[in-house]
A and B are shown apart, each in its own frame.
Chain A
Amino acid sequence: MSSSASSSLPEPPQVDLERRAAIVATSVVGGAGCLAAAVPYVASWGPSEREKAAGSAVDVDISSLAPGKMMVVEWRGKPVWILRRTPAMIESLRVDTNQLADPDSKRTAFPTPDYVLKDPALRSIKPEYLVVVGICTHLGCSPSGPFASGENAQLGAEPGFICPCHGSTFDLSGRVFKNKPAADNLPVPPYRYLSENTIRIGEAPRA
């Protein structure tokens, strides 16, 4: 339906430049003021000092971790896995079975830091210890594992981890297999070695 506007509308008034200038100036200053006042309100939703303190680095003692075993520590409310890989596990990772979606960790959704990619098959600073965030890159459940070859029906011959929620599977370097709901390898958190037996999760190695 058309509006009732007819052809005999009065002519729009001449634009009063002075008035317009005053309106624009006031709006700009007022807008800047409102924006400035809004900053603390928006910031108040961010992590508070307590949460930032809780989110800071966690030091982990790995001296009692046996080969083939995995320990789970909490960092920023998330589970971080430290898996001590056996030589056999490390060997199996070096075999290219063409089953991985992103074998060289090239994807950028969860960027893998350079310092773990000296050997892309191992994704760690030291070959023996894998450090990854144990949260499936699909929708956030924590996968089960590690399972040895043949130990889990869905994983089959490949050792690794399987996510119970939608069935995504990951190898012993946290790399995701092809044609699974998850598209990305497990995230590697910033971490570095303070000593032979201590890993600090939350800080990258000094360059």
Chain B
Amino acid sequence: MGLHKTAYRGLMGWFDSRMPSAMNAFRAHMSEYYAPKNFNFWYFFGSMALVALVIQLLSGMFLAMHYKPDSNLAFWSVEFIMREVSGGWFIRYMHSTGASFFFIVVYLHMFRGLLYGSYRTPREVVWLVGCAIFMALMAESFFGYLLPWGQMSYWGAQVIINLFDTIPLIGPDLSTWIRGDFVIGDATLNRFFALHACVIPLVLLGLAVVHIFALHDVGSNNPDGIEIKDRLGPDGRPLDGIPFHPYYSVHDIYGLGFFFLAYFGIIFFAPELGGVFLEGNNFIPADPLQTPQHIAPLWYFTPYYSILRATTEGFLIWIAACALGLGALVYLSVRDMRLRIGVGAATAIVLALLTVPKVQLDAKLWGVILSGASAMILFALPWLDRSPVKSMRYRPAWHKVVLGAFAVAFLVLGYLGMLPPNPTRTAVAQVGTAIYFGFFALMPWWSRMGEFKPVPERVRFVPHAGGAR
């Protein structure tokens, strides 16, 4: 009769004989997906990111049922949601807090990758898709932030879109095209709403699916950085693997408990978090004629904003020195003559664009380039890391110090980005920028240096006290 053979009985059997792909998918991705048994705290954040996405989608779609994307009505529609829609304040706070939590979770998720070499072969595609998700997430939050049409929304968007002005030749026209007008206005708001509510959510969903499929194709990494598929048992399953469902599905629900504790704690007791999650200035309707005293992007953009501001006229000469140094290092590291010529030419061009009077690009444009590069350099990570071992656990102790310095630099840059600039802060930000880029640019060399510890055959796993019954 064309029915598939099924091992299930009853209603499940009826369904499985007609759509086996449903249970096939459940087995392939959950009950028979063997994940390493030594996952630790850092491994909660993947599924948590998926939960954050679902929260944003649900809260967002309900907000969209009351929000009006018209420059005259937008601000008031948000106030309407907060004050007059039953439960509206709760939905709004879920969405604003959810956005910040999404970034906290994603940053921790990416840091896990740095700790354990999750981006190394064969997981480069997983990493690249993840970087694409990060880019899409930044776009999504940028578009979303204009929607409340407050002072910070308006002027923040103004500043960022004006960055496109700096692109030589096409800059101003490009900015006008993005805005749909000569200034940010109704046209901009309407299209940002369509992008935020419809286009990018679809992109995020699609990329999340691809991200998980790519991971499941090669299997998860683990804190020891060894491939569990290298040691299979007599049944063909990894000796150090356990089925994702029920072990990690339940484990992740446990982790979600802590997430929800913090998340709802903030929603009910401190949804603005002192202006960090919801800016004070955004409770004032947008006024094109008056800029607030102090503009800053939301906290999750502040590291990149810091790098942008740190790139001053005076800093260019230091960048030039570093570019020269890096060029020399690469030149000496490659043997092939054609590559050497290429490296030499590239370095010369970059130096010219930094220092030679007529050709030199503005510090403003260099700031845009550097802050853009600081986000984009993540894509290159699988090829920058030349360490013979994946995980920090088996690397020389000083590698951990280097990673720690990078993390501290990122946090300090983020903190500085929230404050108005002054000469001292700019100097610190410049040092932070140097550490940030040094971490990546010099990685092909430092990741190979030092005494590496022997990597174990089997994962390091200590069961809970009490052991097996």
Contacts and interface: CB of A to CB of B under 8 A. Distances in A.
Interface string A1-38: 10111000000000000000000001000100100000
A44 B9 contact: no
Interface string B71-114: 00000000010011111101100000000000000000000000
Contacts of B65: 44-45
A3 B86 contact: no
Contact of A1 (B9, B17, B91): B17
Bin chain B's interface residue count: 20 to 34
Given A1-B1, A3-B7, A3-B8, A43 B80 contact: no
B393 to A, nearest CB: 32
Given A5-B9, A50-B80, A44 B87 contact: yes
A117 B326 CA distance: 95
B66 interface: yes
Interface string B1-44: 10101111100010001000000000000000000000000000
Contacts of A3: 5-9, 13, 17
Given A1-B17, A4-B6, A5-B9, A39 B87 contact: yes
B7 A40 contact: no
B97 to A, nearest CB: 13
Contacts of B5: 3-4
B461 interface: no
Chief secondary structure at chain B's binding surface:
loop
A46 B7 contact: no
B90 A4 contact: no
A40 B84 contact: no
A49 interface: yes
B86 A43 contact: yes
A198 B66 CA distance: 36
A64 interface: no
B3 A1 contact: yes
A41 B84 contact: no
Contacts of A5: 7, 9, 13
Interface string A70-97: 0000000000000000000000000000
A195 interface: no
22 contacts: A1-B1, A1-B3, A3-B8, A5-B13, A30-B253, A33-B260, A39-B87, A40-B87, A40-B91, A41-B58, A41-B62, A44-B62, A44-B65, A44-B86, A44-B87, A44-B88, A48-B66, A48-B80, A48-B88, A49-B83, A49-B85, A50-B80
